Amino acid sequence: MNANQIVLHSRPEGMPVAANFKQVSVELPALEQGEFLVKNLWMSVDPYMRGRMIDRESYIAPFIIGQVLEGGSIGEIIKSNNEAFPVGSKVSAMNGWRSHYVTDGADHTLLPQTPINESHFLGVLGMPGMTAWTGLNKIANLKEGETLFVSGAAGAVGSIVCQLGKLMGAKVIASVGSDDKAQHLSKLGVDAVINYKTTKDLSQSLSDAAPQGIDVYFENVGGEHLTAALNNMNDHGRIAVCGMISQYNDTTPTPGPNNLAMIIIKKLKIEGFIVFEHWDSYPQFAKKMGQWLATDAIKAEQTVYEGLEKAPEAFIGLFEGKNRGKMLVSLK
């Protein structure tokens, strides 16, 4: 049997382009004892994958030219020589960017029986949702009555951060890149939304939206957003640094904010985090998030591209602001 895969054809210089990716067909091996065959149903594209396209040391190994890309995936077992993973079960794994694959089940998790669509295990119930929850609870320690600023607020992580912030009793200020996204977040209960593409002075807009100052900043964007946040932080404010998407396609490094002295003046705490290091809290998170989803307290939006061949376009779209909520590729 053959499987389609998308491999890294060349390393992007700046914004990724279609030519950096190549679809290939590979022959899958026959199943050995203990192995099973998975047909992928969904794959995730996430901004952090851009970092893996650079050949450098990081918290996760770089992708290799000519090899299949990796990323979150949800698949269905269609053939099995492994009793723990029976045919018909659905599994989550890091085996995206391919139509089918054979595995012995290492690093695979069986999805629970639930009425929730399985695709949400790549979003609100998966890495992005867990990232939002971890950043607010374990890193920034957001408290009731505080003011939270979220950049990249319409994205997979940001849109959950905003909603969790409201559930935790915070005033939430969001920054997004389109009026459509702004309206959507307002509907979700966010207190004030700034369209950073149309505002003249982000720092001033933030000050107008949060005259009482910012206690927690959930950082997804970097650059000008970090500068504006630093200017508006309250004493002892906390910044959970999840991502800096504005810089992922830089061909030369961008200078940082010119107001880092605020770290001293305001006695700020800035902490970067990688959600995988907090995965032992996943069951605690999943239980709560499952309840919130079931009661509609959290709404999980998705932007779906259809077909493996659309995966590069979906990935590139992340950096063009094309997604509202979780960006997914359907492989059904």
Stretch that binds a copy of itself, among 37-45, 175-183, 249-257, 302-310 (CB under 8 A): 249-257
Binds a copy of itself by CB under 8 A, chosen from 14, 18, 55, 59: 59
How far apart are the C-alpha atoms of 172 and 149, rounded to whole Å? 6
State which amino acid sits at residue 99: S
Pick between residue 172 and residue 270 the one whose CB is nearest to a copy of itself. 270
Among 6, 122, 193, 226, binds a copy of itself (CB under 8 A): 226
Task: Give the tokens for residue 61.
Answer: 């190994």
Smaller CB distance to a copy of itself: residue 77 or 229?
229
CA atoms within 13 Å, Cβ hemisphere of 139: 26
Which of 116, 263, 286, 297 contacts a copy of itself by CB under 8 A?
263
Confirm or reject binding of residue 241 to a copy of itself (CB under 8 A): yes
The yes or no reply on residue 148 touching a copy of itself (CB under 8 A) is: no
For the record, the structure tokens of 155 come out as 């994205």
Closest CB to a copy of itself among residues 221, 308: 221
Q: β-strand 171-176 against 147-150: which pairing, if any?
A: parallel
Indicate the residue among 255 and 283 with the shorter CB distance to a copy of itself.
255
C-alpha dist (Å) from residue 200 to 152, 193, 197, 206: 18, 14, 8, 11
Least distance (Å) from a copy of itself to the CB of residue 310? 28
**CA–CA gap between residue 242 and residue 227 (Å, rounded):** 16
92-119 in b/e form (b: 16+ CB < 10 A) is bbebbbbbbbbbebeebeebeeeebebb
d(CA 279, CA 286): 11
Interaction between residue 251 and a copy of itself (CB under 8 A): no
The C-alpha atoms of residue 28 and residue 26 are separated, in whole angstroms, by 6
Closer CB to a copy of itself, 214 or 308, in the complex = 214
Kindly state whether residue 279 participates in binding a copy of itself, applying the rule CB under 8 A.
Answer: no
What is the Cα–Cα distance from 311 to 308, expressed in whole angstroms? 5
Q: Which one of residues 31, 116, 167, 274 is an interface residue with a copy of itself (CB under 8 A)?
A: 274
Stretch that binds a copy of itself, among 95-103, 265-273, 296-304, 310-318 (CB under 8 A): 265-273
- Determine which residue in the list 55, 180, 277, 309 makes contact with a copy of itself, applying CB under 8 A: 277
Please report whether residue 64 would count as binding a copy of itself according to CB under 8 A. Answer: no
Choices 69-77, 107-115, 248-256, 306-314; region in contact with a copy of itself by CB under 8 A: 248-256
Q: Given the complex with a copy of itself, which of 66 and 256 has the nearer CB atom?
A: 256
Binding to a copy of itself (CB under 8 A) within 164-223 occurs at: 222
* The binder of a copy of itself chosen from 256, 294, 320, 332 (CB under 8 A): 256
- DSSP string across 137-190: IIIS---TT-EEEESSTTBTTHHHHHHHHHHTT-EEEEEESSHHHHHHHHHTT-
Using CA atoms, how far residue 261 sits from 148, 229, 266, 268, 287, in Å, is 21, 13, 9, 10, 41
The only residue of 11, 197, 267, 332 in contact with a copy of itself, by rule CB under 8 A: 267
Q: Which residue, 14 or 29, has its beta carbon nearer to a copy of itself?
A: 14
- The residues that touch a copy of itself, with contacts defined as CB under 8 A, are 51, 58-59, 222, 226, 235, 241-244, 247, 253-274, 277
